[in-house]
Amino acid sequence: MEPDSDRPSLTVFIFTYLSAMDVKIDSSWKEILKQEFTDPYFEQIVLHLKTEKSQGKTIYPPGAYIFNAFNTTPFDKVKVVILGQDPYHGAGQAHGLCFSVQNGVQPPPSLVNIFKELQEDIGITIPRHGNLTHWAEQGVFLLNASLTVRSGEPMSHAKIGWARFTDTVIKKISEGKKHVVFILWGKFAQEKKLLIDESKHCIIKSAHPSPLSAHAGFFGSKPFSKTNQWLISQGIDPVDWSL
């Protein structure tokens, strides 16, 4: 059978299953990523999730939040990209925005350090919550390299196909937009630099905000003020980093 001959049924299968999981994604991303959603590798991602769910395994974030970054920040509004690696794997934490946790959940250590740098950099009082939706609504695309994870098992979905998908997302942003700030914290995120056209975008790099590395170059890196300075220099509205 020719690969394209089964594409309509494959597309129906993928979107039927995603709809069953109550997945929400902005229409702009559906259009830009339509080729990915109809590719056999994405079918394998969906099949993997479906199999684990049928085995009674808990997957985070919940279905409605898997594409939360894509639903909250439409493609045309993206002006900053922050790259994370893996969703939080504890109950009630992950909601599809990297580093962010749902209301009522104690901010994890890396997020606490992000808030400390935010205060030191631009004087914003450390928030009492860890929900970064306000950033996402302004055009800060909070993307994890893997969009799902098994409960209690970090990096458990790192090799099921998400990396190919999210690498494509980064390339689409780099190719389709101008003057985006990419904030790359830690070695993993900085490896994505090869996907970004530095001739038209700004890359801000530092150590990861994890307690294991924050004192090795994250603290004092001033990513928030540097981001706004770049955006303003390009005639783009700065981000209101308060929460």
Catalytic residues: 86
For residues 26 and 71, the answer to whether their CB atoms sit within 8 Å is: yes
Residue 69, CA distances (Å) to 7, 138, 185, 230 in order: 27, 12, 18, 23
For residues 116 and 136, the answer to whether their CB atoms sit within 8 Å is: no
Pairing mode of beta strands 181-185, 80-84: parallel
Question: CA-CA-CA-CA torsion for 28, 29, 35, 39, nearest 10 degrees?
Answer: -150
Q: How many helices (H) and strands (E) does the chain have?
A: 10, 6
Residues in a beta bridge with 149:
60
Handedness of CA 15, 18, 24, 25 (dihedral sign): negative
Element (H, E) at 140: strand 140-144
Nearest Cα neighbor of 213 from 114, 133, 115 is: 114
